[in-house]
Structure 1
């Protein structure tokens, strides 16, 4: 039932007289509003969110039962939605399923990425963008509170340190559990590491264009007995590398953007996609014809197929 307010509520200050919220419930609504972190720079949005939250404090005069035609009778105000409990715990967001938290260690490389192992073993490939290393790690069970466990003795399955300036992406072939094919994308300085970004069977449509800095996509093959169900100790063999793609980057490397690679989730086309930012150009156009675009590769038929532009006009 509504309560009679002796003074307006502090948060839902538009509610006077009869209210479905007492001051304690009003305080809970204020905590819920603050937990949403509505930007102060958007007062219009804040007003709408506040109005929605405070709606539960306004009594309804809608009858719960149909009224016969021609009959007129007063309908007392009532609270159709019970007020929130007057405890601070009710303002906490709904608990989500437990996950894995990554914590930066002192002196550790920054910018981590993770790709789940498709064999259902609970493992994942963890990579650092800054030093070009890829690890195979065991992800602990949900709710266990355990830390990530490095899988195997030499858990670094790929090390591009000294060759890659920045490891920008990692993707596993859709049939990785049977063929062990692993793809990486990275930026490199061809003057410092001429062996990288220039070897292999790169597409003739883009072979770096003589640029010093390049964005490279390569394929490695992991070696092991069995690629499925966590029974192998995967390790990429640097000698078994195949060039997929290379394109020149701007002289100011900080202007280069993108470089993420992925296979379409749930897709069966077997194509690898590369997202490239427009860099220092505009409108998806820059020094390279591939800037500002998503490029698609038929990795099962290289050489022999040129990369295709899947989408264009992208920003950074």
Structure 2
């Protein structure tokens, strides 16, 4: 293990909290960074590069024979990056990256925007990972009309002049039955300086506990290094926002109580967040991420709810993790199950806390399932895709519209994965950007173009073939 010459990354005792994730929007943060790709890492742990298919036992889904079909619901989007369906309503919405939310109905997309924040989003075009990146309705939206919106704004006060932009998380309040949102009813909850334009993550969503979870990327560039990337405990690779817990909130999943306030903060800190009363920033829930592009919750039982976080890789591997409170998911010490940019690397922090391996991993090249930018999806639970019940359905931005599934019932990790063919005439576009859920229905968002150049974006509902 490299010598420890900087502050410890984890507060003592966090291991007890563990029970044993371009970003991609219009285009991914792929293996070629603005600074150029670092040397290929040498693996010091199990290879993990063999793509396996099949099931993990009699209780798992049969991934070999599964197929799905798609029904086109709406089109005309530039780059659809998120979908939400407020509880207690029959309404459905698509988030378009340039800064507009549209309502979709059985007849397609409404022409008039539901929410338009283009006047407060940084100018974007072509290949860009900034913009309007996520929206989450409050669990009681039908009564309180509160929406939580994550977007990239021009540099605000407190963001250094040599930084790219400001991460903004805001609350909008609207009449739950209204056809549009009054943009003046915005309350800013959180602003984070973003050093580079990429690795912005963007997922926001409420967990079964009623708390708001927020994904943050590592600050961009490449390798979690350079301007805006602080030093961490691991000397073999420079930088380390993913491993830092005290200087900023980047490279993490945050957890906020939006129904309370904590001192001068416009939100509350859940008292059971892992760093409350310890070294580190209280908003942190889990860390060690590069660019978590889409997360979702799966309730397997009343006391067993899993948070699936898809984390876009650097040069060689994509990964999905089941994220627990206080977990450290390895970046930039590790990329998936492998050492990053070093011939050898630790599997624990200096305090003995584990760097948690992903449950899904696939390479950027080779045989079987490959890609460059993982797109997080959902665990299938009934509905039209009963054949896949229990499987985790996901994609890759470069999958040419293909879908993949992993088997959580597997007795081995990483889980077996396989392609799930999409049959029929209606197909998602070649660039899958996100998934959505409304009740038991699952949706795929995609585009026909690599950048923000046209309106080929579409929403498809997944159905039985």
Q: What band does the TM-score fall into relative to the shorter chain? A: 0.5 to 0.7
Q: Does 1:237 align with 2:182?
A: yes
Question: Aligned pairs, how many?
Answer: 192
Pick closer, same or farther for the CA change 1:43–1:262 going to 2, 3 Å: closer
Which is helix-richer, 1 or 2? 1
Once the two structures are TM-superposed, the CA of residue 212 in structure 1 deviates from its matched residue by: 5.3
| Alignment partner of 1:297 is 2:268 | no
The aligned runs of 1:247-262 (5 Å cut-off) are 247-250=192-195, 252-254=196-198, 256-262=199-205
> How far apart are 1:109 and its partner, in Å?
1.1
Partner of 1:246: 191
Q: Contact 1:244 / 1:302 at 8 angstroms: preserved in 2?
A: no
Q: Which residue of 2 aligns with 1:272?
A: 212
**Two-structure CA RMSD over aligned residues (Å):** 3.3
Gaps of 5+ in 2: 1-47, 56-63, 123-130, 225-238, 270-281, 292-465
Rounded to whole Å, the distance in 1 between the matches of 2:250 and 2:49 is: 38
Q: Which residue number in structure 1 is paired with residue 277 of structure 2?
A: none
Separation (CA, whole Å) in 1 of partners of 2:151 and 2:50: 43
What is the CA distance between 1:285 and its match in structure 2?
Answer: 4.3
Q: 1:308 to 1:209 in 2, by over 3 A?
A: farther
Shift of 1:112: 3.6
Q: What's the secondary structure of 2:184's corresponding residue?
A: strand
Q: Which of the numbers 100, 108, 121 marks the counterpart of 1:164? A: 121
Match of 2:108 among 133, 148, 163: 148
Post-superposition shift, 1:262? 0.8
Structure showing greater relative contact order (alpha-carbon pairs closer than 8 Å, 6 or more residues apart):
2
**Deviation at residue 163 of structure 1 after TM alignment:** 1.8
* Alpha-carbon separation, structure 2, partners of 1:179 and 1:101: 31
When residues 303 and 295 of structure 1 are mapped into structure 2, their CA distance, relative to the original with a 3 A threshold, is same
Q: Distance in 2 between matches of 1:208 and 1:288?
A: 14
TM-score by length of 2: 0.37
What is the DSSP-based 3-state SS (H/G/I as helix, E as strand, rest coil) of the residue aligned with 2:248?
Answer: coil
Match of 1:308 among 280, 283, 297: 283
User: CA distance change for structure 1 residues 118 and 291 in 2, over 3 Å: closer, same or farther?
Assistant: same
Q: Secondary structure at the match of 2:259?
A: helix
Q: TM-score, normalised by structure 1?
A: 0.52
Q: Indicate how the Cα distance of structure 1 residues 285 and 118 shifts in structure 2: closer, same or farther if over 3 A, else same.
A: same
Does residue 132 of structure 2 align to residue 132 of structure 1? no
Query: Considering only CA atoms, is the larger Rg found in Structure 1 or Structure 2?
Result: 1
* SS of the residue 2:87 aligns to: coil
More strand per residue: 2
User: 1:1-316 alignment to 2 at 5 Å?
Assistant: 94=66, 96=68, 100-101=71-72, 105=76, 108-121=77-90, 123-129=91-97, 131-138=98-105, 140=106, 147-150=107-110, 155-165=112-122, 166-190=131-155, 208=159, 211=163, 213-223=165-175, 227=176, 232-250=177-195, 252-254=196-198, 256-264=199-207, 267-268=208-209, 270-278=210-218, 279-280=220-221, 281=224, 283=240, 284-285=242-243, 289-302=248-261, 304=263, 305=268, 308-316=283-291
SS of 1:299's equivalent in the other structure is: coil
Q: Distance in 2 between matches of 1:94 and 1:115?
A: 26
Alpha-carbon distance between aligned partners in 1 of 2:200 and 2:49, rounded to the nearest angstrom? 33
State how far apart, in whole Å, the 2-side matches of 1:245 and 1:94 are: 42
SS at match of 1:239: coil
SS of the aligned residue for 1:237 comes to: coil
User: Which whole-Å CA distance do the structure 1 matches of 2:253 and 2:49 have between them?
Assistant: 37
User: In 2, distance between residues paired with 1:103 and 1:148?
Assistant: 4
